[in-house]
Amino acid sequence: MAFGQVPEPDGVPATVNLAAAGADEPATGEAGAISWPEGFTAERVAQRRDSAAQPTLEPFDRLAAKLIREHHLPGLAIAVTDAGRLVHACGYGCGDLTTGEGVKATSLFRIASVSKPITAVAMLRCVDQQRLRLDDPVTQHLAVDAEFAAAESLDPRWRAVRIEHLLQHRGGWDREASFDAMFQSVRFAKQLGIESPAGARDTIRAMLTQPLDFDPGARYAYSNFGYNLLGRVIENLSGETYESYVRRQVLEPLGITAMRIGATRRAGRVPGEVAYYHPGESDSVFAENLGAAVPHPYGGWHLEAMDAHGGWIASVIDLAKFARAFDDPAACPVLSQASIDCMYRRPPPAADADPTAEPPAVYYSLGWNNRHVRDDRYNRWHVGSLPGTTAILIRRHDGKNFIALVNTRHSPITKDLAGIVDRSLHAAAAEVESWPTADLFSAYD
């Protein structure tokens, strides 16, 4: 892999500011720094780039080198599309600091909550297939009648939760008011008398004993658990696993074949997947070494149970194909134009909202953050964050899509790495004097 000096970019203000949504897990164990092996430095890693001999846009190359130097990132990948064409795709830095393996545009990263737009599209695919309606009660499609009957303290508001509520994070669960159910795998395993960690369906069984935090539909509160429920609805409707349905019905029609649900522990790393880096350690949630100190990204939580809200691994090429599928709604291979319009529709105001107030510029629709820019133009995006992972997918109002994947979320100088990467992508785009007319997608097919 070639080494070479890369000059610094000039800063340009961003057009998108990230909402708080996106972190699968609250910040934890952020103290300290990533340990660099002997012979590795941020300066040296910043000189590494791999575009598979395809042309790149220099402002994005400069951006990547600057981010690695300033934030001591092990590695990252960036892809950019314009009018449906892939115009930039490149890996930077190291995918594995131990072996020195570099990042490629095809390297697989955990994408954390960027999984949510994928689940939302899968649900709307079910709507297009007339398997359900968005106003259906979630209980109608969960196959939990026996568990409901056995639950001694079932909150009656469960039956008011609609599919659309879950997609909009309005289902009734607020992790700030109580807890994030998807990070209670040890507690729930003990409650259910099963081996830790609790799985996705086990978590639902355990949550039937917990009260909701607010009336369904009344307001927005980011909820990983709500998207876990959607994953199980997809399984019950399709008769196959969530992963199988999404790969067959959403990803393969878009030419995406490498994406899959990731594995928690290092032994489950697949060929082409990067290694993940985060300071400090966590207590293992797995029965064979329960409570033992493990690296945060490799056993401190249960990635397999997070499939529908944060479990996918993907490359920037994969996510570029996903993003461009909605550039022309009339020609989308996986959703009808009506479903795409619905996907971006503004939800009703909160129950306690001032009816005379202007609607906020930023809102969460079905799996997407949205910002009204002007006229009928919107920026759509989602962020993902876990120890060892930062992921950003942006669909911009001018027909450009930006994807950035990083194999850490830790920076020694900021707690807002995702926000800095976001603003930097827009800054780099502003420096492009002439956008290419060639399409690099064919080089990766």
* pLDDT surpasses 50 at 420: yes
Q: What is the pLDDT of residues 282-320, one digit of tens each?
A: 999 999 999 999 999 999 999 999 999 999 999 999 999
| Parallel/antiparallel/unpaired status of strands 293-295 and 75-82 | unpaired
pLDDT value, residue 31: 61
Alpha carbons 69 and 55: distance in angstroms, whole number: 23
Alpha carbons 95 and 49: distance in angstroms, whole number: 11
Rounded to two decimals, the pTM is 0.93
Q: Which residue has the tokens 């029965």?
A: 287
* pLDDT surpasses 50 at 132: yes
pLDDT value, residue 40: 85
Q: What is the pLDDT of residues 378-418, one digit of tens each?
A: 999 999 999 999 999 999 999 999 999 999 999 999 999 99
The three-class DSSP label of residue 395 is: strand
pLDDT value, residue 11: 30
What are the residue boundaries of the structural domains of the chain, listed by start?
Answer: 117-250
pLDDT value, residue 206: 94
Structure tokens at 144: 């939990």
Q: What is the pLDDT of residues 5-21, one digit of tens each?
A: 222 222 333 334 444 44
pLDDT value, residue 37: 84
Helices 58-71 & 417-431, crossing angle to 10 degrees?
Answer: 150
Please report which helix (H) or strand (E) contains residue 339, including its range. helix 337-343
pLDDT value, residue 154: 87
Q: Read off the pLDDT of each residue in 163-174 and give the average, rounded to a whole number.
A: 98
Alpha carbons 256 and 363: distance in angstroms, whole number: 29
- For residue 131, what pLDDT band results from cuts at 50, 70 and 90? very high
Quick one: 304 exposed, middle or buried, by C-beta within 10 A (0-12, 13-18, 19+)? middle
Alpha carbons 101 and 94: distance in angstroms, whole number: 6
Alpha carbons 356 and 418: distance in angstroms, whole number: 34
pLDDT value, residue 38: 82
Q: Which residue has the tokens 């790969």?
A: 247
Q: What is the pLDDT of residues 192-247, one digit of tens each?
A: 999 999 999 999 999 999 999 999 999 999 999 999 999 999 999 999 999 999 99
Looking at the domain covering 117-250, what would its CATH class be?
A: alpha beta
